[in-house]
Structure 1
Amino acid sequence: MDRKGEFIVTSDKQQSKPSTERLQSLDALRGFDMLWIVGGAQLIRAFAKATEWRVADVMEKQMWHAPWHGFTAYDLIFPLFMFLAGISIPYAITSRLEKDVHTNDVARRIIRRTVLLIIFGAIYNGALSNFENARIASVLGQIGVGYCIAAFSFLYLRKFKPVLLAFLAVSIFVAIAQLLITVPGYGAGVLTPEGSMNAYLDQLLLPGKMYRENYDPQGVLCMVSGAGITLLGVLTAMILRLRTWSGYKKAAIMVGSGLSLILVSLLINPWYPINKEIWTTTFNLLTGGISLILFAAFYLVIDVFRLSRWSIPLCVIGVNAITIYLAARLFSFNKASELLFGGIASLAEGFSAVIIVAGVILLEWLMLFYLYKKKIFLKV
């Protein structure tokens, strides 16, 4: 931190050696996040159906997206991933700059990664089999655009306050677009599937087909809004990299900031609803706050207390998150699980679906563990 209180990225002239630090808590929380996508949510749903326990039923209801306004635990998965992607940005970019990689080369790498994520997202949506009617918008595409905006912001701003202003600018821009700008035929501030600014921009600008009838939940304005929570991750990393602050102080700042964001989102919610489908700013604030608190907990336990052994199974997933996301789409782990565990499942009566889903998770994890041991990581 300089004399003016700015958070800055040190160059190789300021440090005797390049930084090689890696946060195991980042990999662990990313693995925990991905676990729900690749089978964890399905396991809870199957277990609730098999037992009909009240507690299980309550948990099962949290394993689905909110249909429109509102929030469930399942809604946190995507923004949490984007938040964690944001944390990795300062580490990756600073590491390259410390190795005397030119800023223009880093910029080209950012663009290349963004384009590849958009392409992978389109392939995930089936573009190779039906290109003429392909859905170009995608989860990976939104991650790519959010990463691009956040990475360029960090690359050219470098200081905490300007990056904070970038986060605020994105948040305010999305709020203004959704609440104050008139949508032809509907007016301003109409947060419905047909009348929202998201629907208008997606129908006007988005190539290919849309996931919904009138809009796409990974559409144009959602991509921009998603950059907000990615920038929040960048800001978190800039705090984490401060060597003059203790781990306890960093965790306390994260928790305090997270609680503040949650409170603000809930206070504004009656007038500007929390909504994942159109990725409102209040949704960003709520999920950003929860993400900060979750990461603070993982960071304290794993990187500050040094209690990390338990997290290795999660890290196995976290270091190859995109790999398992694509593999779960391209390969039928469910059929493999039925082949290997179908006999046992048939004896379990009402719990057969639980065993099959558990088998899917096991097979996915074993594949990732093999890649982990061989040090094979898909890097975009």
Structure 2
Amino acid sequence: MQKSNPSSRLQSLDALRGFDMFWIISGEGLIHEWAKASDNTVINWMSSQLHHSDWNGFTFYDLIFPLFIFIAGVSMPYSIGKQLANQPSKNQVLKSLFKRAFILIILGTIVNGLFKWQGYENTRIASVLGRIALSCLFAGIIFIYTDLKTQIFIFFGILIGYFLLMNYVPVPNFGAGILTKKGNLSAYLDRLFLPGKLHRKVYDPEGLLSTLPAICNALLGIFTGKLLQSTSIAGFKKVAIMSAFGIICISLAWLWNPFFPINKIMWTSSFVLCSGGFSLLFMAFFYLVIDVLAIKFWIAPFVWIGMNSITIYMAAHGLINFESTANYLFGGLIQHLNTPWQLVGLATGIVLVQLGFLYFLYRQKWFLKV
């Protein structure tokens, strides 16, 4: 943990990161239990959106992961730009990028159960944090060593190149362009080359080849960060630009969808554009409300989460038993609720315990820097 000054940061970015993380640490559990206990149409719809698409398609839950990568990309012009201003050598900044990527990959294997060691063949190396590490590492390298024109060229080159690879490179015993769970090129390469255990036996949703297009989510974030950094463009105009490009990306995704389906597990090029478009729209909304209109009374819990996102991700995925703590603190109250609502009460207690933990870290100015 390091001490840091939160007031110097772009609050809309921290709040959006916290909003994004909220759903996977405890928000989804609360909504699912609420949907089971009630017959509320809106809550039932929200619950349906908090599940991944089985294969092709797109839900809000499918957005959470690429949105986090996009947010990491938005922060790069600020963080890397600051480092470049203080460091004469780009190679020194590159070393810090590699160090960060290595740490995230190790943390990802810990989340996967590294310390419950059951042999190499039962250890999953690929992970959510690993994909964040690799996509942001390569996006960072591109940002450091190329200009904007080249970055845009690389962005579209990756999307088109991945489309061509997935559709025209034949897979033994399947052929070319077979975009099924077992027959697609990405899954085949994972079975051949991905170290450790595959998450889904015949493929891994955070595999090798499918990490390539995730770089574009980070690059789209970098483009957005550069826009937000600009002092010559007014706030409302920035919101309009982000919104316009968000709509364009989503439209292009759905036009591409019949030929290269929107699919999170394969991380298709159309999925990049769809998730990137919605990421831009969320960023535009948060930036408009928080930084342009300065309506900030509601953002504190999301900022607490956003400024310690890796900490709470690790804690919620095995390091801390928030459910037991919530039971200990609120169990006496929860037992007085009607049976269907007791799990809602427990889920609410988990949210409160997590926010209390993060508020303590925020007040102490303790933030995990990776």
Same fold (TM > 0.5): yes
Identity %: 44
Q: For 1:325-336, what aligned pairs fall within 5 Å after superposition?
A: 325-329=313-317, 330-336=319-325
Distance 1:334 1:21 in 2: 34
Instruction: Give the structure 1 partner of residue 144 of structure 2.
Output: 155
Distance 1:170 1:23 in 2: 29
CA-to-partner distance for each residue in 1:8-56, whole Å, 9 max, x for gaps? Answer: xxxxxxxxxxxx9631100000000001011111111000000122332
Q: CA deviation at 1:308?
A: 2.2
User: Does structure 2 retain, via aligned residues, the 8 Å contact 1:111–1:148?
Assistant: yes
User: Does structure 2 retain, via aligned residues, the 8 Å contact 1:183–1:195?
Assistant: yes
Gaps of 5+ in 2: 1-6
CA-to-partner distance for each residue in 1:86-144, whole Å, 9 max, x for gaps? Answer: 00111111101111342111010001111111111011101122252210000000000
Match of 1:341 among 330, 334, 349: 330
User: Does structure 1 retain, via aligned residues, the 8 Å contact 2:87–2:93?
Assistant: no
- Give the residue type in structure 2 aligned to 1:137: A
Runs of 4+ off more than 3 Å: none
Q: For 1:311-326, what aligned pairs fall within 5 Å after superposition?
A: 311-326=299-314
Distance 2:301 2:115 in 1: 33
Match of 2:225 among 210, 223, 237: 237
Within the alignment, does 1:64 sit opposite 2:59 as a pair?
Answer: no
Give 3-state SS (helix, strand or coil) of 1:275's partner: coil
Instruction: Give the structure 2 partner of residue 40 of structure 1.
Output: 27
CA-to-partner distance for each residue in 1:219-259, whole Å, 9 max, x for gaps? Answer: 11222121110110011111112211111111111100000
- Give the residue type in structure 1 aligned to 2:63: L
Distance 1:117 1:169 in 2: 27
Instruction: Give the structure 2 partner of residue 354 of structure 1.
Output: 344
Instruction: Give the structure 2 partner of residue 24 of structure 1.
Output: 11
Distance 2:364 2:81 in 1: 27
- Give the residue type in structure 2 aligned to 1:147: C
User: Does structure 2 retain, via aligned residues, the 8 Å contact 1:160–1:238?
Assistant: no
By relative contact order (CA 8 Å, sep 6+), the higher-ranking structure is: 2
Instruction: Give the structure 2 partner of residue 144 of structure 1.
Output: 133
Give 3-state SS (helix, strand or coil) of 2:362's partner: helix
CA-to-partner distance for each residue in 1:250-277, whole Å, 9 max, x for gaps? Answer: 1111100000000011111122111111
Match of 1:188 among 176, 189, 195: 176
Instruction: Give the structure 2 partner of residue 10 of structure 1.
Output: none
Distance 2:223 2:345 in 1: 42
Q: CA deviation at 1:214?
A: 0.6
Q: For 1:84-95, what aligned pairs fall within 5 Å after superposition?
A: 84-95=71-82
Q: What is the aligned length? A: 360
User: Does structure 2 retain, via aligned residues, the 8 Å contact 1:142–1:222?
Assistant: no
Gaps of 5+ in 1: 1-19
Instruction: Give the structure 2 partner of residue 4 of structure 1.
Output: none
Match of 1:278 among 263, 266, 273: 266
